[in-house]
Structure formats: structure tokens, C-alpha cells
Amino acid sequence: MAKSKFLKGLGMGFRFAWATITFPHFLRKMRKQKQDDEVIICLFPHLGDIVYGLSYAEQYKKETGKKICVFCSSNLEYYVREYKFIDRIILYDATSLDQVYVACFPFLRYGHTRGKNPDGIIATVPDTNHFKGMTALEVYRDCIYNVQKDKLSLYPPQDVPVSAIDDFDNIKDKVVLINPYSFSHGKSDEMFECMAEELKKRGYIVYTNVMNVLNQQPIKGTLPFDCHMFEKYTVVNKIPLFISTRSGMLDMMASSQGNLLTIYIKKPKKRDYFSVKELRSEGVREICWQGKKDTPRVIKLMNNFLDEIEAKRSKNID
């Protein structure tokens, strides 16, 4: 274990050193492409970083009159273009991530305020160690963008045809989607299997969000669900409940009408900092699973949430 940590640290050290050497060229590239009447927003190549990174960009544009140019990886371009207030997009290869990290360090050090941003480049990578006592959205609002009005821009709603689930329109009220996978948080197969079993006892058809290209497997006793993110959004928007570990996918779904149940594995250090309730307060529950013995409590809380959802949906039908 100690050797593994050492090698991992050594690898990160080499990455940082290489990025530091090549960073001046990277920064010159951004400065060279930047126009006088715009600000460049540098996004990390993750779904959650789109939602948080652009959370107050539209309000910033209204208050400053600056055009918005987004510097993002090519694999996120499709999603970023859904924000219609963006004036221009500059693409970088996702392998340039190390350089983006280095680009952010000066901003982390000097406070992220636009008054200390002479280059007109906003690096959307707040470090919790620099902003203790604040939530992520507070950091973006008050420090990174420093806007006067609390006008939040969530991911633009999507509504596309659903083909990944047969006869979806007729069964949508009995579908629950579970997302056990996350790049930033752990997962518990046993807990999700127990949740799926309980959901099926209640008469629900349970699907697991998977990515076949990553060889992800559905939870035991559930059906696989793999499709484009916009189709996933449409499904979450119409079904009774979406259950997920804390992930960027949850950030994107915050603008939907779907009910969201967030599962935190053990004791995540940044749970309060990245609380989904900061993005949307209604129709959201957050549960921290502490281990195998805690599964019955999690199941009970899920059932309580489902009771509320079913009562509300039944009332709306009547």
C-alpha cells in the first residue's frame, strides 16, 4: 500500500513538473486567442465542472458586458454548446488537463476575484482548502465570478425521444434508474442490490445506468441502460426517482423535474461543499451510507422518499 501511494505520488510529481514546463506555451495560447471584449472560462473535462464552472457565467456576462469564450476539452463540446449565452468555444485536447491544473494555481492563490484577473482568464477550479466555510456555489458566485445578483444558470433542460427503454411512455411511472458509477466517489454493489430488490418489491422496473465502452455492468437483478446523456436527462425528467452516487451526472440532472436521491459512500470530505441541494432544494434527498450495517437505514429512507413521491404523483393525477 505504501509503495503504491509512493508511486502514485511520484507519477503526479512528474505530471506536475512537465505541466509546469509546458504551461507558459499553454497560457500564451489562451492569451493569443482571447479577444479584448471577452473573458475566457477554462473548464475541466468533467460533466460536473460544466455545471459548476458555468453556474454564474451568464450573470457575469450581464453585469460586465463581456462576451463569454469557453476553453474546454473536445469531449465536452457537445454539452457546452447547449448554453446559448456562450459566444465562442476554444477546444483543447483532454490530455492537456495537467496544464489546466497548473493554469489554475495562480487563481487559487490570489483569490479568484475578477479584480485580480488581469489576463481575463477565469480558471474554474476552486480548492476547498482556500475557501473553508463556503459551499461550491458560494465560491463561484462570490469569488470566481464575483457577481452582485444571485442568478444561477443550471444545465439547459433536454427533451428528446427515448429509445433505450422499450415502450417508455407507457411504463415511465414504474421506472427507477440507478447510477452506481462515479469517477470521484466509490460504490457499493451490495447496497445497490438491496435497493434494487426493494424497488422491485414495490413494483418498479429498475434500470442501471451503464457505459458499455467502460465495460460497466448493471446491478444484479436490474436492466442495463446505456444511451446519450440527453436521453438520460429526458428519462430522469419523467420517471418517479433517479438514485445515484455523487457524480457529475447528478449535477446535470439538477435542472430536471425528476426526484433525485444522492448516495454518499462512507464519509466524503466534500459532501457539504458539493451538496446537490445547493443546485436544487426541492425533490432532492441526500443519504450517507456508512457501511453494510447501515443498509437497512438507507432502504428505510429511500422508502420514505418514495412514499412522498407516490403520494404527490397520485395527487397530481387526481
Answer whether residue 103 is part of any domain: yes
Per-residue model confidence (pLDDT) at position 185: 62
Are 185 and 127 in the same domain? no
300 and 213 together in one domain = yes
190 in any annotated domain: yes
**Domain count within the chain:** 2
Based on the fold, state whether residues 246 and 105 are members of the same structural domain.
no
Q: Do residues 224 and 265 both lie within one domain? A: yes
Predicted model pTM = 0.85
310 and 278 in a single domain? The answer is yes
Give pLDDT, residue 199: 98
Cell of 10: 511520484
pLDDT for residue 115: 38
Do 172 and 307 belong together in one domain? yes
Res 55: pLDDT: 93
Residues 67 and 207 grouped into a single domain:
no
Same domain? 117 vs 194 = no
Residue 71 inside a domain? The answer is yes
Q: Give a yes or no: residue 162 inside a domain.
A: no
- Of 144, 159, 189, the domain-final residue: 144
**Confidence at residue 139, expressed as pLDDT on a 0 to 100 scale:** 84
Cα gap 255→257, rounded to integer Å: 7
Domain co-membership, 229 together with 140: no
The verdict on 177 and 308 lying in the same domain is yes
Residue 285 lies in domain: 168-317
In a domain, 158, yes or no: no
Residue 172 and residue 298 in one domain: yes
Residues of the chain with pLDDT under 50: 106-116
Residues 132, 181 within the same domain: no
Residue 1, judged by CB atoms within 10 A of its CB (0-12, 13-18, 19+), counts as exposed
**Residue 67 included in any domain:** yes
